[in-house]
Amino acid sequence: MPVDYTVPAIARTFRLLEILSTSPEGRSLAQLAEELRVPKSTLFRILYTLQEHAIVIEDRERKLFTLGMKLLEWGHAALSKIDLKSIAHPHLLKLAHETRQSFYLAILDNDEVVLIDHVDTPEVWKMVTRLGHRSPVHCTATGLVLVAELDEKEVKGIVDRRGLKKFSDTTITSWTGLKKRLKEVRRDGFSVVDGEYKEELCAIAVPLRDHLGRIVSSLMTAIPSERYKKNRRYANELIKTLDNQAKIISKRLGFDESKGKP
């Protein structure tokens, strides 16, 4: 008979993390105790330990637990291996070298935008500095691109779970306003967000598509809002540059433009 070397407490902790990974809205102590079939006192000690290491965080107002940022840091090694990043990174380098701007690659994860790669140039102020950085969907250029072609019910679900938080006077804070904006993004094929998330920042993003034509990532650059307002021609040039590179990257990901979108 084989010897079982597993540690019950660790196995229980992994099961806990699995449950939280499928629960973006969070779980209460009582819910987790019931699902794991362990006493609340035992589970509380596990959750407390995980909180101490930023693996789990607690929303004290709602008394709900969700995954923390530490797992993103650990997941960075995995992110660096995915085909999307390895394929796109040389193009980010090319763009940064040719334009002297900074460029970013992001995906949609757990109803939020997550930065998975970036190339910064020394001449340009770094808008984002940390891989794994998360930002909202409704008021970021990348977020709008990533959800533009999702089913309306999926987008509404994100809004219901995450809300439409106001970050500036121009932030979209209504479902009607967001639907109208997404329609514009689908029509234009790109998104420009000026001062809606960060007042001093104007971000421009375009979609990257996989072999099925689905939007799987977003290619983005950012410039000071003041520069955007004074030089729209330059912004239009950046849009064309981003779009051209996005088409090349998408082709390498297997997208056949002649067959169109799904």
| Alpha carbon distance 142, 202 (integer Å) | 12
Do 35 and 14 lie in a common domain?
yes
Q: What is the pLDDT of residue 133?
A: 77
Do 162 and 57 lie in a common domain?
no
Print the domain residue range for 17: 8-68
- Percent of the chain's residues with pLDDT above 70: 91
Do 177 and 111 lie in a common domain?
yes
Q: Kindly indicate the confidence band of residue 193, based on its pLDDT and cuts at 50, 70 and 90.
A: very high
Q: Select from 68, 87, 116 the last residue of a domain.
A: 68
Report pLDDT digits (tens) over 51-110: 988 899 988 888 899 988 787 777 665 554 457 888 999 999 999 888 888 899 999 998
Q: What is the CATH number of the domain that holds 12?
A: 1.10.10.10
Q: How many CB atoms lie within 10 A of CB 208?
A: 28
More confident residue, 76 or 258: 258
- Percent of the chain's residues with pLDDT above 90: 53
pTM of the model: 0.67
Task: Say whether 175 sits in a helix, a strand or coil.
Answer: helix
Q: What is the CATH number of the domain that holds 245?
A: 3.30.450.40
